[in-house]
Chains A and B, each alone.
Chain A
Amino acid sequence: MTTIGSEQRNREQPGQRTPNLTSSDPYAVLGVMRGASLREVKRAYFDLVRQYPPEQHPDVFKIIRAAYEKLRTAEAKAETDLFLFRPPSSWQPRKRRKKLDLQIHIEDIVVRMQAGSDLTRTDFKADYEPIKL
């Protein structure tokens, strides 16, 4: 009895839905979760029709109707579900992050010691020898 009562209340005071009218996903257009049941789809459709009466919002109604048609029957819904673009698999963070290298590197000390030696020099033209053929 409680369930029936709550359903009646829902019918009497349908919740405002926020359809995504620009979406190519019919579920989003109807403002329901992907994979919603036929019953949920139907309810969302009627809520939206009340929210956007065809006489006042003919263009919106067309969009809502087209989305509903794609999910109206079990066959249509199965076909739509099969050829609906898919979200990426849920993101799994790395099991183990790489450690930051926070050590002191001898290389950074050597830099100063190399200064002024051949190890930092780039011009070695003085070492070139003439050739004889």
Chain B
Amino acid sequence: MRQGHRAFQKGDYDRAIEWWEKAQERAPDKMTGNVNSALAQVYFRRGVKRSYGSQPNPSGGLDDLRKATELQPDNACYTYHLGLAAHRLNDLDQAIEMYRAVRRDAPQSQFATRAAYPLALALFQQGKDPQKAPVWSALSEKEQKKLLVARAFLRRPYRLSSDAPLLWKGLAALDAGDDAAAQTAFQASIENPANTDELGIAHYYMGVLAARNEDWDTARWQWNAACAAGMERTYLHHNMGEIYHRLAEERLEQGDVDGALVAAGEARRHRPNDKSLQRLISHIHQQKGYDAALVGDWERAREHWETAEQIAGGSFRLAYNLALAYEQTEEFLVAGEKWREALRRRPRRADHPDAIEEDVVAQLWRRVAETYTRIGEYDEAIQVYRMAVKWRPEHLETRMELADILLNNGRIRSAENELNRVLEQNPDYIPALLRIGEVIYAGENWWYHGAAPKYWERVLELDADNVTARQLLVDYYQNEAERYLSWGQPSFALQQYEKALSYQPTNARLLAAMGGCQIRMNQLESAQPNIAQALARASDDLAVYDEIIHAWLEVGNTEQAWHVLEQAESEATVPYTFYIQQAYYCIGDDPDVARPWLERAVEKAAPDDPVFVSIGEMAVGANAWEIAQEYLERGLQAGIALGQIYLMLGIVAIHLFDRQVAERHWRQGEKIANQKHDQDLLERIRMARMVFTEPWGWIRAILAMEDDDDFLPPPGFYEDDDSDDDYWF
């Protein structure tokens, strides 16, 4: 209770009500009549404040005054004020009831006297003659006189006495159709108003006069002046809204879109909830968005279309345009949502101008899916592609896209199923035949890989010139051959190379590889023509020489290998890395055989080539630690790529069980990396330390390396590259 009282004294009526009501709720028995009257008083005060304060809330004020009256029904003050508040809100019935109650229940109170004139006025406002009401006798002479003059407005034609206010005379003249007299009276009222209310009213009726004569510009001007004078009437807002609405329509018809928007905005200020006005503004924004899109200003187009949507709700066309705009501004997620909205909102009636056919629906779903694919939202994309397929199951391209995205998302089984569905529809559909072969070959079931070529062969039956199918078959058999070679089965490898060659008979690398197999099988007579053909076809292709040298080295015929190398050197520019590659083929069997190749690499490398690092990395990869150490130390003397040399030397030292030396090398490497701000090298040294010195460091390194492919030499450095085009040297 005390808290409430404190708040009341500070004028914080909200808190006072809160505290006292809480107290009343918690201990209703302890509440005295004083609490009730205090609560009524605070509601009364808040009601007055809300009704007439600086931030008026008349309906809230009315509620408070009603509450005060409920709490103390006999209080004439509260009843009277409830009447006044209702009167101001134009609830004349309630006002009259309250005034009468005060006069009846508390006839001696000051409020009974004060209620007399408002009661008479309320009766007058209801079109009743106050002179005939009992309250008339309670009015002062002055009040009676005012009402007697005003009584003229109760019956038409209005006959005003000569002492009537000028404004009223103007109104009577306006009613009588005497525009000139009305104008003169209103003008005089404007020039010499009794108060701002009268000024506003005079401007308003000047506007009415102008509107009756269809002088819209003047009407707008006068009504604006009425607004500026603080006039607040529903009919003023109605007229202002309507007149600006008409202006906006007129300007739109004239093609003045900007002018239309300004006028419509004015209209909306007065009639914010008018649906037809909202539609007009939305239309104008759509038009402005369209104009912006025409000149490629998609940001602005999007803003207008969004505004149009906010004002009058969405539509198929708006969602469609917004989807395009979001695509243009590369907000693909929102674009996807807008496409979906467009599809949801598409008109279902066939005769609608925006009606779209099922085919188009499917195309739109496809577009949505493409949008999601662009931002990697594959699950969404798959879901949406399925919708597109549902709408146009016969459209194989869409099904192919679905299969592709399933494949990219690692859902190989689903991709294969989808491709099978495509092939059920069209068994000769080449894109599906190509892709299903790839899917099968990429699958985990190695025993099933052999099924892949039949699809590509079918493609060649359908289209003998299909380069992709041909290449896929060559790649397939080449991979198989290499697998056999790695198992030490050159005869099987040869069969695979022969199959590959049947699809690309002029492929020099295949011919060289076949020759290589025959060397390994010691069928030198058979090898010779293949090798000769390969060299005749591509005498400057180092990959061809690589195949042949590799084979000679594998069978231990160094002399022949060097002979082929000399041929290569005479026909092509041989990079130093080529020699290192050849050294790699033989370093595992006998490091001494590798050494001359390495020396040739050193000899051929340019002074600034990191040849020693390359040799070190190769030797580390082949576990030839001593060779690695030897060449890396020579690299220290050469002074090229020192940081990397220290990194590699550290790794070598670890493998030679000398951790202290390793640390020393890595510290040196870090020092150089820091001097050169080489973050990459620093990271590689950090990783090396983690892998080779910390318990379980290799697991952590693998996890860390998921984002970093640069730690070790590039893939394929120590192996034959599978790709024909990307031979590493």
Chain A contacts to B: CB under 8 angstroms = 20, 22-25, 28, 82-83, 85-89, 91, 93-94, 97-115, 117-119, 121-124, 127-129, 131-133
- Which residues of chain B (238-288) have a CB below 8 Å from chain A? 238-239, 242-243, 245-246, 249, 252-253, 276, 280, 283, 286-287
- Which residues of chain B (107-163) have a CB below 8 Å from chain A? 114, 117-118, 121, 124-125, 127, 146-147, 150, 153
Q: Select one of B37, B205, B317 contacting A86, CB under 8 A.
A: B317
Q: Select one of B201, B235, B246, B280 contacting A111, CB under 8 A.
A: B201
**Bound Cα distance A23, B81 (Å):** 66
Residues of B contacting A106 with CB < 8 Å?
Answer: 125, 127, 153
Q: Select one of A94, A102, A104, A131 contacting B276, CB under 8 A.
A: A94
Contact check, B34 vs A133: say whether CB atoms are below 8 A apart. yes
Cβ of B413 within 8 Å of any chain A Cβ, yes or no, is no
Chain A binder among B294-302, B379-387, B638-646, B678-686 = B294-302
Cβ of B77 within 8 Å of any chain A Cβ, yes or no, is yes
Q: Select one of A82, A100, A117, A128 contacting B118, CB under 8 A.
A: A117
Number of A-B contacts (CB under 8 A): 153
Residues of A contacting B626 with CB < 8 Å?
Answer: none
**Bound Cα distance A98, B117 (Å):** 38
Contact check, A109 vs B287: say whether CB atoms are below 8 A apart. no
Contact check, A118 vs B84: say whether CB atoms are below 8 A apart. yes
**Bound Cα distance A133, B42 (Å):** 13
Contact check, B41 vs A128: say whether CB atoms are below 8 A apart. yes
Q: Select one of A82, A103, A105, A119 contacting B363, CB under 8 A.
A: A82
**Bound Cα distance A27, B8 (Å):** 73
- Which residues of chain B (199-230) have a CB below 8 Å from chain A? 201, 204-205, 208, 211-212
Contact check, B296 vs A23: say whether CB atoms are below 8 A apart. yes
Interface size class of B (residues with CB under 8 A): 35 or more
Chain A binder among B190-198, B480-488, B540-548, B655-663 = B190-198
Extra contacts, 9 of them, besides A119-B88, A128-B41, A133-B34 (Cβ < 8 A), are A82-B360, A85-B321, A86-B320, A97-B246, A102-B239, A106-B153, A109-B153, A110-B150, A131-B38
Chain B contacts to A: CB under 8 angstroms = 1, 5, 8, 34-35, 37-38, 41-42, 44-45, 48, 52-53, 77, 81, 84, 87-88, 90, 114, 117-118, 121, 124-125, 127, 146-147, 150, 153, 165, 167-168, 171, 174-175, 194-195, 197-198, 201, 204-205, 208, 211-212, 233, 235, 238-239, 242-243, 245-246, 249, 252-253, 276, 280, 283, 286-287, 290, 293-296, 298, 301, 317, 320-321, 324-325, 328, 353-354, 360, 363, 367
**Bound Cα distance A83, B174 (Å):** 59
Q: Identify the closest chain A residue to B295 (Cβ).
A: A22
Q: A102 with B296: in contact, given A111-B201, A112-B167 (CB under 8 Å)?
A: no
Smallest CB–CB gap between B429 and chain A, Å?
A: 18
7 cross-chain pairs, A with B, having the tightest CB-CB distances, nearest first? A88-B286, A122-B52, A131-B38, A101-B235, A24-B296, A108-B201, A85-B293
